């Protein structure tokens, strides 16, 4: 059950794609160092380093990792994480998603665990099912697209912390949600955009979740069970994977509401031009 919206009319341009080597070549170059780090219980865990920027630099390895639920990490996974010099875990899961997950190790000071209490707006599929909503694949896809349009504002408080940790700590940061593909996917895309990584390369990183995510494990996750109950495979598919249209929708909404990604970073996350310049100094070479 892994795969990648029909692109909506752009209300303002998406971030420019740099000229030069084809995106597939850039992705292959980035893969020279192992991107995915295999975990026994955790999933979709990978290093965001190695991508080339529009100005010819490269995103540093070992600075930012993206992951599915940290609540599924085994003791061995936890030990491996400690070898990566992780100083922060930014957990984007909602209160409801975390309620069934009790992982005391995350409260250790040395992993800098951060989360917040909130409910997903418009994304509580269980509530929609309870109202008797009838879903087919296109309806589910529409729910996903609408959810992505809401992420820039809904997740702003979390993304603000993500950027703060990247700007003010020399240790690595892990950002995660339940699947590590949607809220995490946009958060990572915003960081890569700030680092001047071309949009098509950002999209390639985003779409890697279709091959790196164990959808069977995802469906068994405590945070997903209510939403997945009795969903036919074709209806579940848009929920379990990622599509270009999803990320496009988030960036289209940002451009509509703020005029540009840079303006969003400044006005919503407090990451102004000077902070972006510092981020590039810290995270590229």
Q: What is the residue whose two structure tokens read 């590229």?
A: 284
Q: Report if residue 134 sits inside a domain.
A: yes
Mean pLDDT of the chain: 85
Q: Report if residue 145 sits inside a domain.
A: yes
Query: Which residues, at least 6 apart from 56, have a Cβ–Cβ distance to it below 8 Å?
Result: none
Tell me how far apart the alpha carbons of residues 281 and 285 are, in angstroms, rounded to a whole number: 7
Q: Report if residue 190 sits inside a domain.
A: yes
CA distances from 121 to 69, 130, 136 (A): 20, 16, 21
Contact 78, 100 (CB under 8 A): no
Give the pLDDT score at 67.
Answer: 97
- Interval 82-105: pLDDT, tens: 999 999 999 999 998 898 777 777
Q: How buried is residue 273: exposed, middle or buried, by Cβ count under 10 Å (0-12/13-18/19+)? A: exposed
Q: List average pLDDT for each run of 10 residues in the chain, which is 285 residues long.
A: 28 36 46 80 96 97 96 93 95 90 78 92 56 74 93 98 97 96 98 98 98 86 62 86 98 98 98 98 97
Extract the tokens encoding 34: 């192992």
Q: Report if residue 2 sits inside a domain.
A: no
CATH of the domain at 139: 3.90.190.10
42: Cα within 13 Å, side-chain hemisphere? 29
Give the pLDDT score at 105.
Answer: 79
- Count: domains in the chain: 1
Q: Report if residue 245 sits inside a domain.
A: yes
What is the reported pTM? 0.85
Q: Which domain holds residue 183?
A: 23-283
Q: Report if residue 31 sits inside a domain.
A: yes
Give the pLDDT score at 130.
Answer: 53
Q: Report if residue 9 sits inside a domain.
A: no
């Amino acid at each position: 059950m892994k795969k990648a919206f029909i692109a909506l009319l752009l209300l303002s341009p998406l971030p420019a794609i740099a000229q030069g080597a084809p995106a597939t070549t850039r992705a292959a170059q980035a893969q020279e160092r192992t991107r995915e780090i295999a975990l026994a219980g955790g999933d979709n865990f990978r290093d965001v380093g190695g991508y080339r920027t529009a100005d010819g630099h490269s995103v540093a390895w070992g600075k930012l990792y993206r992951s599915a639920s940290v609540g599924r990490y085994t003791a061995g996974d936890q030990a491996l994480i400690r070898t990566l010099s992780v100083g922060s875990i930014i957990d984007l899961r909602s209160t409801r998603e975390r309620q069934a997950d009790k992982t005391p190790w995350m409260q250790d000071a040395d992993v800098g665990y951060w989360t917040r209490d909130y409910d997903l707006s418009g994304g509580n599929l269980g509530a929609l099912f309870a109202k008797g909503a009838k879903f087919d694949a296109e309806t589910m896809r529409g729910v996903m697209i609408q959810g992505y349009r809401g992420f820039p504002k809904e997740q702003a408080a979390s993304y603000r912390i993500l950027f703060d940790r990247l700007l003010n700590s020399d240790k690595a940061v892990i950002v995660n949600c339940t699947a590590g593909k949607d809220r995490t996917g946009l958060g990572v895309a915003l960081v890569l955009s700030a680092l001047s990584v071309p949009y098509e390369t950002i999209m390639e990183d985003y779409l890697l979740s279709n091959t790196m995510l164990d959808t069977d494990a995802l469906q068994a996750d405590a945070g997903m069970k209510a939403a997945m109950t009795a969903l036919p495979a074709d209806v579940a598919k848009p929920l379990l994977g990622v599509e270009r249209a999803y990320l496009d929708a988030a960036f289209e909404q940002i451009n509509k509401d703020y005029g540009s990604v840079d303006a969003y970073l400044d006005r919503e996350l407090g990451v102004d031009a000077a902070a972006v310049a510092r981020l590039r100094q810290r995270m590229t070479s």
